[in-house]
Amino acid sequence: MTPIPRLAQGGRWRVEAMRSYSSNLLLWFTRGQGRITVAGTTRGYGAHNAVFIPSGVMHGFEVSTQVFGTAIFIPRDLGFPLPVMPTHLRIRDAIPQAEVTGILDNLQRELEGSQPERVRAIHHHTGLLAVWMRRQILLHEAENKAPDAAQRLTTRFTEMIESEYKSGMNIAEYAEALGVTPTHLSRVCNQACGRPASALLSDRVIFEARRLLRETKTPIQQVAADLGFTSPAYFTRAFQHHTGQTPSAFRRER
């Protein structure tokens, strides 16, 4: 568990750029508002919104100085009834708001404590959190609309990006694999999240480049090759275009 503003430490790109995590993620916003993009669909979020993002799903969100809340990273394969699809819940009633606040408070207390049976308590509090989410999903199902064709295509596209972003595939190749034209793919991405297909792809690739440059000692030439760039020079130009810095300058700041 970590405060949402802390996720942005070290650069806003850590929350705003498209990326995914190997763990499931629950974002519980308690104050402020902004936009969040999950699996290629952008929605507004505000206070008392719960956003569940399964592991491996691309996402990014705005976080201003007015935004507060908690990010809970939940390991996979714990046996809990966690959603398999991204879920955005707007919790309007005070009772479920208080319920999740109490669960998170208890979970935080156990994570920071040293009481006997601590691990078992953490496990059970996480299970209660999963039950709370499932209950809210069932209560909200009647209000949720089925995703339209544009949202479904954008979701398929972001899923493909997540599996292929290191391959060097371009938008035309993604569009061909999805059975649509590049123009149509870009149009539906703009419709679903306000960004063209090329921006979603480059955002994911450059986020990974930033992560590798900041968190590893992998040579820049190897980073370029690992991310599917045809040459280190092309990688440097693309990185500088998106960040305003060369890869070596970005790495020196870590």
| Strands of the sheet with 34-38, listed across from one edge | 41-45, 34-38, 59-61
Band the pLDDT of 226: cuts 50, 70, 90: very high
Mean pLDDT in the chain? Answer: 93
Q: Decide if pLDDT at 156 tops 90.
A: yes
Q: What is the pLDDT of residue 9?
A: 82
Q: Decide if pLDDT at 90 tops 90.
A: yes
Q: What is the pLDDT of residue 140?
A: 82
Distance between CA atoms of 237 and 240, rounded to whole angstroms?
5
For 69-80, how does the pLDDT look when each residue is reduced to its tens digit (9 = 90+)? 999 999 988 888
Q: What is the mean pLDDT of residues 56-64?
A: 93
Q: Decide if pLDDT at 230 tops 60.
A: yes
Q: What is the pLDDT of residue 143?
A: 58
Distance between CA atoms of 127 and 133, rounded to whole angstroms?
10
For 9-49, how does the pLDDT look when each residue is reduced to its tens digit (9 = 90+)? 877 788 989 999 999 999 999 999 999 999 999 999 999 99
Name the 3-class secondary structure at 119: helix
* 2: β partners: 71
Angle between helices 182-193 and 171-178 (to 10 degrees): 90
Strand 24-31, strand 41-45: pairing: unpaired
Q: What is the pLDDT of residue 151?
A: 83
- The pair of three-digit structure tokens given for residue 148, joined into one six-digit string: 């339209």
Q: What is the pLDDT of residue 74?
A: 96
Gap between the terminal Cα atoms of the chain: 24
Q: Which residue has the tokens 């100085």?
A: 65
Instruction: Count CB atoms within 10 A of the CB of residue 76.
Output: 12
Residue 82 CB contacts under 8 Å (≥ 6 apart), including other chains: 24, 52, 54, 74, 130, 133
Q: What percent of the chain has pLDDT over 90?
A: 82
DSSP state of 249: H
Residue 4, phi then psi, degrees to nearest 5: -55, -40
Instruction: Count CB atoms within 10 A of the CB of residue 230.
Output: 10
User: How far, in Å, are 11, 46, 126, 224 from residue 39 at the CA level?
Assistant: 22, 19, 24, 25
Instruction: Count CB atoms within 10 A of the CB of residue 196.
Output: 16
Band the pLDDT of 145: cuts 50, 70, 90: low
Q: What is the pLDDT of residue 10?
A: 75
Q: Decide if pLDDT at 123 tops 70.
A: yes
Distance between CA atoms of 205 and 170, rounded to whole angstroms?
12
Q: What is the mean pLDDT of residues 214-238?
A: 95
Distance between CA atoms of 17 and 19, rounded to whole angstroms?
6
For 91-107, how does the pLDDT look when each residue is reduced to its tens digit (9 = 90+)? 999 999 999 999 999 99
Question: Using an 8 Å Cβ cutoff, are 30 and 224 in contact?
Answer: no
Range with lowest mean pLDDT among 147-161, 210-224, 236-250: 147-161
Instruction: Count CB atoms within 10 A of the CB of residue 216.
Output: 11
DSSP state of 194: S
Range with lowest mean pLDDT among 37-46, 74-83, 129-138, 203-212: 74-83
